[in-house]
Structure 1
Amino acid sequence: MKALRRFTVRAHLPERLAALERLSVNLRWSWDAPTQELFAAIDPELWTQAHGDPVALLGLVSPSRLDELAEDQSFRDRVNQVAADLDDYLSRPMWYQQRGADGEVLPTGIAYFSMEFGVAEVLPNYSGGLGILAGDHLKSASDLGLPLIAVGLYYRSGYFRQSLTADGWQHENYPSLDPQGLPLRLLTDAEGRPVLVPLSLPGAGELNARVWIAQVGRIPLLLLDSDTPETEHDLRGVTDRLYGGDQDHRIRQEILAGIGGIRAIRAFTAIEGLPEPQVFHMNEGHAGFLGLERIRELVTDGGLDFDTALAVVRSSTVFTTHTPVPAGIDRFPVDMVTHYFGTASGGDDADAADPAEESRLLPGLPLDRILAFGAEDDPTKFNMAHMGLRLAQRANGVSLLHGQVSRGMFNELWQGFDEDEVPIGSITNGVHAPTWAAPQWVELGRELLGSDDLGSLSEPDTWQRLQQVDPGHLWWIRSQLRALLIDDVRARLRRSWLERGASEAELGWIAGAFDPDVLTIGFARRVPTYKRLTLMLRDPERLEQLLLDDARPVQLIVAGKSHPADDGGKALIQQVVRFADRHEVRHRIAFLPDYDMSMARLLYWGCDVWLNNPLRPLEACGTSGMKSALNGGLNLSIRDGWWDEWYDGENGWEIPTADGLADETRRDDLEAAALYGLLANSVTPKFYDRDEHGVPTRWVEMVRHTLQVLGPKVLASRMVRDYTEKYYAPAARSLHRTIEALDGVPFGAARDLADYRRRAEQAWPGIRITDVDSYGLPDTPLLGSELTLTATVDLAGMGAHEVAVEAVVGRVDATDGLVEPSTVQMEHVGTADGGRELFSTTTPLPVAGPVGYTVRVLPHHPLLAADDELGLVTLA
């Protein structure tokens, strides 16, 4: 008999142990070892049964055990000490407060929106790298003291749990999660009533979402939940699962995350007495509708016109793209967007909607302006990434290479500009060290620093202290961690085979499967096609030889989930499973189902080599290899994502790429052959070549070098500092300037910018460079010879001070294209006949060889982040 509904009843804690409740619901315990050890001491067996979840543990422990502990003075002292440490962590000035004390203008609040958050395995609101990255962002923001509020959705079934059928096919299971049994609290008003976030979805009804709060150290994570009695029945399932359902389901989730998320922040800050966020960060385009809701607030509540409101919103919005291919972007049919954002007179018929009328969902905003944000070359599609870029003054990719790819992918929004001029920067992702570093490495760090405070890990000099550590000790740590992984692999392998229908009598071989002394390679990630899960199987016989080599064997651990709707990805998993099931190799290769944070942690700790072989350049960043490097693992990877910028020849191996080859089959053959060759000729010899003490000295030196060089780079604390200094602080300064009053008129600066933008967009088609004259060059120009250029420009009514005129000079290719040119500002020097303006500059020739120049005009306003921001340019 099955229960109709499941809920969790928490134990009543004795007064003297009351602090355990507070410790259990602040997710800082997920990266704080003393807090974890405290809860484990309550009942080690139950702690294991609860999978390391303090809330679950307190639901399982008996009242008598709690009473016993309440009488134990040493345990009470321990509770009080850990609680005092949490209080100190939550209240003491951190890096951010120190920056503010130095007089730097920093935002008083930052809102961070993401569709998934991987904070801890007990809160399965993540599917892969995007969510884990968001979770690490929150943890590091907490460690650094950022005043950040995060917003997402609470998925009643999270992402799916994965198992395998007897023939190796992925099976999905969606467990129902009880929020009362998780480290969450409900946002309530002064009378203790749940706060509801209202959303009227045209044609669907009223959605009233609750807000659950996960406290991630200092950071509140607001999770909206549509499954409430106040929500119409058909809408209760909007937050049922992560990345489930069709496009209609998806757009409802994104409307709730963006529009509902802003409303949740307003309610939360009012109740908690916190300052409103000044900067809004969209982690991917999924939450892009938040910008529309902010415009609506400023229009309907603040009395601003649409363009002035847009100027304010853009000045304070940051957009991060994680997508290196157009196919990875959310694109909705325009008719679907019109259905939800349509006009009052249009009803539910998209064709009947009047684009000039106000939106039903967002009163005060004309439908045509909403649709324009998502416009792309296909007029039937609404592009969420395009909307994110049009609503944000600052945008970035998540590695240097991904920034370059993104500038090419979105070049169409800045027509007339070269790819490298597109205003999309890059901040390379990072990982949260306390979450992903093995305890052995953390303890070694404390010994080297002589302190429990690991705050200086962001300083490169700190990592150089590893030079003091004996190679034998480094090898001992690596061997310990590999042995821990092998124990876990055997346990998971046994569970998987039993789930697939094997009997215990058939599984005696698992006790000797895998070997703690054998070179161990990990490959674990989501399973889209571009990550090429099966490249290792390109030549099965060659792989088998590597696995079973008598002198230098290799063992391979594979894990990953395919999207439930991706049968192609499931087929790739099945190929690996069928190969790994073979009697000859099953003790050397395994596919482990249900990849999650708990499995990942041991893989990162114990694998000697982390394998990554995506199709370059389709890996935006790929942080799994960072986590391995943080534990002394060596990367064996295609030069993509973060590895492209930080590989140095000594911290792992580069798999040569054939990314220019049109024949995909040939490309895979070449790259697989390179992979096998590296394993046989470079990787395994270094691992198995030992000194008289059994230490592979060359391998250990690569481990030491990896930790020293990559350690400070791969940290999420470095990433969050970069966001603060390069994006959050500039956005706050931009907002302050934009909302200034001019001549006593509120938002006067924003109004002036909006007026300027309107005039520039109207005038730009008429702006022409009518003449360009050059002077001063000798008959035989030499490097450094001075070139004087004068341009005559018809500004179509714009003032000379409202434009930037630039000379662009550089080497030219065979088609007269300028290659890596330099730009020089031209000064306004007068007015010619007919009201045309004269601009001039003198500049030395910057390069030798074939050189060319041109002149261009761009809009210029002090509140623009750069002259290329509006995407307007006129070329000579």
Structure 2
Amino acid sequence: MNDARAPVAAGNELERYLPHTRIAYLSMEIALEPDIPTYSGGLGILAGDAARSAADLGLPMVFVTLASRDGYLRQELDAQGGQLDTPDHWDPADHATALPAMVAVEIEHRQVWVRPWLYILNRPAGRSVPVLLLDTDCRENDPADRGISGRLYGGDVAMRLRQEIVLGIGGEMVLSALGFEIATFHLNEGHAALLPLALLRRHPLRTGHVEDAVPYDVDRVVERCVFTTHTPIAAGHDRFGYDLVVRLLGDFFDLSALRRLAGDDALNMTRLAISLSGSVNGVAKRHQQTAAAMFPGHLIRSITNGVHPETWVQPALARLYATLDPQWTTEPEILVRADTLPAQAVLAAHAEAKGALLDAVYRATGRTLSPDLPTIVFARRMTGYKRADLLLADPERLARIARDAPFQVLYAGKAHPQDGEGRSLIGRIQEASRRLSHDLPIVFVPGYDFALAKLLVAGADVWLNTPLPPLEASGTSGMKAALNGVPSLSVLDGWWLEACIEGVTGWAIGDPAAPDTHAGILLDKLEHTVLPLFRDREAWARLMMGAISKSGAVFTSHRMMRRYAAEAYLGSMLTG
């Protein structure tokens, strides 16, 4: 790799971070603000919440991601209710500053120049963290390479590997070129797993090549890398054939050594990251068990995900929480006292959030929904294992329940352009909406993004989550809902195994080991427990306060980042 730097000086705006920043967090996607579409879903939202909490807590961190100038996708619906997706273009110059430093990585025997843009994520009290957006749309690049940092997760498998080369290898080079002295690299999912290879190349063993060993100082690199895996599905771990790896990376890394680290048949990015990281964790206790079974012989711990309190709590509730303690945004544990709030004040705050949501639904779809009816929301990435249509499995019974106790349902979510099953789910939901229209309002709201998500998690009455166990790694949308006093009706998987207190924070849907029973149990809970309770407003207010105090107060990104700081970053923070 060619590490040309021209020039090294990064300018005053970045220089104030260089002396103390010791931790770099790399993620293919980060949700910074609604107008910057550098995220596709939960992984990016989590990374953004991690950055916001890092700033709030004063952690010495820099965040690195791709510029993704064409975003993930802009979603609209056609006349039949099918998904139409187009690029979601944005210009980094509108939000960030181009830094006067560039590096070149070699991909397919060509120099690919990477320009970093600096975005400053500012928080109250003057705290902030820098975010570097890596961009290959440079005039110095071959036209074939300018689009590497274009469409997030776009293109074929070769494009995916090119993006991961830019993130991992290019990211490490950019940090070095800008003058950062990083002690710990946090790899958020396997997309950045090539970064440790760049570090290894700097530390060959003095004894030279050994027949049955990796000829690099692995221990020296392992102690500098932290890895978080988010994917409990084998097919979700990026794998690249070695023919492709050699074609794109050439002799960047010893191939026999790479096979020992990443798998003999193909380069498994998760296996590579696990092999070269001293601290490895899953994102919920249940997910840790799944990950440990997938990668036996490796120590994998659990640090359950969390969400950023101030970002996701709607304004009326935030004002109410401030009556408990004005410092609740930095000490969200204070919300354990939420069950002392006046019930009517909690209901009134929620009514304000619900009104804002229904107004947004009308603007987006032209559909008018009732503020008095219980509103069930399913808003997730549209893909098969999340079973978005589980609620619709018995339409006749669902219609009968709705006639006896009226309610309404909102759906939102994007399907990856190449996910045929996810796209067909959207169509099936639209068809069910038409078929059940006389008995049950069902509305699919297009354009699920950061801004719409904030309205949904605050304005829902019930948060529905129906993944096929054990395929939910964590699931943070329900955490956001809980912070707003919205109980979950969810399958016991991911974070909900830790958070569910039946009838206090929400309700469980059946036995994780018996997924075939979940559709019937979901309707049972809805008919006999959820809808009757909604009519008792005092009891419902107590349920909301239970969701806040028992779940919302616990599952925050402040707690998550404090754990990373204490359990994974501490050495680099002390030496910094």
TM-score, normalised relative to structure 1: 0.61
Aligned partner of residue 540 in structure 2, secondary structure: helix
Measure the CA separation in 1 of the matches of 2:303 and 2:237. Answer: 20
Which of 253, 256, 264 pairs up with 1:368?
256
Corresponding position: 1:651 with 2:557: no
Aligned partner of residue 307 in structure 2, secondary structure: coil
Which of 319, 344, 347 pairs up with 1:443?
319
Deviation for aligned residue 1:108: 5.3
Alignment deviations for residues 95-138 of structure 1 (CA, whole Å, 9 cap, x no partner): xxxxxxxxxxxx95101010000121111010010000000000
- When the two chains are superposed, the root-mean-square deviation of aligned CA atoms in Å is 2.3
Deviation for aligned residue 1:310: 1.9
Other-structure match for 1:609: 462
The residue type equivalent to 1:230 in the other structure is E
Corresponding position: 1:554 with 2:407: yes
Aligned partner of residue 76 in structure 2, secondary structure: strand
Measure the CA separation in 1 of the matches of 2:451 and 2:61. Answer: 26
Which structure carries more relative contact order (alpha carbon 8 Å, separation 6+)? 2
Deviation for aligned residue 1:298: 3.5
Gaps of 5+ in 2: 1-11, 123-127
Which of 135, 153, 162 pairs up with 2:75?
162
Measure the CA separation in 1 of the matches of 2:88 and 2:488. Answer: 35
Corresponding position: 1:620 with 2:473: yes
Measure the CA separation in 2 of the matches of 1:583 and 1:308. Answer: 63
Aligned partner of residue 163 in structure 2, secondary structure: helix
The change in CA–CA distance for 1:475 and 1:455 in structure 2 (over 3 A counts) is: closer
The change in CA–CA distance for 1:434 and 1:641 in structure 2 (over 3 A counts) is: same
Corresponding position: 1:542 with 2:397: yes
Measure the CA separation in 1 of the matches of 2:501 and 2:268. Answer: 38
Other-structure match for 1:294: 199
Measure the CA separation in 2 of the matches of 1:493 and 1:237. Answer: 33
The change in CA–CA distance for 1:686 and 1:587 in structure 2 (over 3 A counts) is: closer
Asked if structure 2 preserves the Cα contact closer than 8 Å seen for 1:298 and 1:304, the reply is no
Measure the CA separation in 2 of the matches of 1:236 and 1:697. Answer: 58
Alignment deviations for residues 138-164 of structure 1 (CA, whole Å, 9 cap, x no partner): 000000001101111111201110111
Deviation for aligned residue 1:383: 0.6
Aligned pairs, how many?
Answer: 552
Alignment deviations for residues 363-404 of structure 1 (CA, whole Å, 9 cap, x no partner): xx42321232211xxx43211111001110110000000001
Corresponding position: 1:252 with 2:162: yes
Corresponding position: 1:197 with 2:120: no
Asked if structure 1 preserves the Cα contact closer than 8 Å seen for 2:395 and 2:436, the reply is no
Corresponding position: 1:321 with 2:229: yes
Measure the CA separation in 2 of the matches of 1:220 and 1:730. Answer: 21
Corresponding position: 1:332 with 2:217: no
Deviation for aligned residue 1:339: 1.8
Aligned partner of residue 331 in structure 2, secondary structure: helix
Deviation for aligned residue 1:245: 0.6
Measure the CA separation in 1 of the matches of 2:328 and 2:208. Answer: 48
Which of 329, 332, 342 pairs up with 1:470?
342
Deviation for aligned residue 1:197: 1.5
Deviation for aligned residue 1:443: 0.8
Corresponding position: 1:457 with 2:331: yes
The change in CA–CA distance for 1:374 and 1:676 in structure 2 (over 3 A counts) is: same
Deviation for aligned residue 1:458: 3.4
Measure the CA separation in 2 of the matches of 1:243 and 1:108. Answer: 29
Corresponding position: 1:427 with 2:300: no
Asked if structure 1 preserves the Cα contact closer than 8 Å seen for 2:336 and 2:553, the reply is no
Alignment deviations for residues 814-836 of structure 1 (CA, whole Å, 9 cap, x no partner): xxxxxxxxxxxxxxxxxxxxxxx
Aligned partner of residue 281 in structure 1, secondary structure: strand
Measure the CA separation in 2 of the matches of 1:255 and 1:285. Answer: 12
Deviation for aligned residue 1:331: 0.5
Deviation for aligned residue 1:712: 2.1
Which of 49, 52, 58 pairs up with 1:136?
49
Other-structure match for 2:189: 284
Which of 391, 406, 416 pairs up with 2:291?
406
Measure the CA separation in 1 of the matches of 2:402 and 2:36. Answer: 37
The change in CA–CA distance for 1:572 and 1:251 in structure 2 (over 3 A counts) is: same
Other-structure match for 1:488: 360
Larger radius of gyration: 1
The change in CA–CA distance for 1:567 and 1:456 in structure 2 (over 3 A counts) is: closer
Asked if structure 2 preserves the Cα contact closer than 8 Å seen for 1:160 and 1:175, the reply is yes
The change in CA–CA distance for 1:701 and 1:688 in structure 2 (over 3 A counts) is: same
Gaps of 5+ in 1: 1-21, 27-89, 92-106, 189-194, 343-358, 415-421, 495-509, 662-666, 690-695, 737-876
Deviation for aligned residue 1:440: 1.1
Measure the CA separation in 1 of the matches of 2:256 and 2:557. Answer: 40
Corresponding position: 1:589 with 2:442: yes
Measure the CA separation in 2 of the matches of 1:145 and 1:366. Answer: 39
Other-structure match for 1:680: 527
Asked if structure 2 preserves the Cα contact closer than 8 Å seen for 1:431 and 1:714, the reply is yes
TM-score, normalised relative to structure 2: 0.91
Aligned partner of residue 628 in structure 1, secondary structure: helix
Which of 391, 395, 412 pairs up with 2:280?
395
Asked if structure 2 preserves the Cα contact closer than 8 Å seen for 1:610 and 1:634, the reply is yes
Deviation for aligned residue 1:456: 5.3
Alignment deviations for residues 464-513 of structure 1 (CA, whole Å, 9 cap, x no partner): 4334322111111122221221111111112xxxxxxxxxxxxxxx3xx3
Measure the CA separation in 1 of the matches of 2:293 and 2:74. Answer: 37
Deviation for aligned residue 1:299: 4.3
Alignment deviations for residues 41-61 of structure 1 (CA, whole Å, 9 cap, x no partner): xxxxxxxxxxxxxxxxxxxxx
Corresponding position: 1:529 with 2:376: no
Aligned partner of residue 611 in structure 1, secondary structure: strand
Which of 133, 148, 168 pairs up with 1:238?
148
Other-structure match for 2:3: none
The residue type equivalent to 1:297 in the other structure is R
Measure the CA separation in 2 of the matches of 1:456 and 1:261. Answer: 30
Q: After TM superposition, where is structure 1 displaced by more than 4 Å over at least 4 residues in a row?
A: 302-308, 730-733
Aligned partner of residue 298 in structure 1, secondary structure: coil
Deviation for aligned residue 1:576: 0.3
Asked if structure 2 preserves the Cα contact closer than 8 Å seen for 1:547 and 1:588, the reply is no
Asked if structure 2 preserves the Cα contact closer than 8 Å seen for 1:325 and 1:409, the reply is no
Other-structure match for 1:709: 550
The change in CA–CA distance for 1:229 and 1:731 in structure 2 (over 3 A counts) is: same
Corresponding position: 1:381 with 2:266: yes
Other-structure match for 2:432: 579
Measure the CA separation in 2 of the matches of 1:112 and 1:303. Answer: 33
Asked if structure 2 preserves the Cα contact closer than 8 Å seen for 1:546 and 1:680, the reply is yes
Corresponding position: 1:113 with 2:26: yes
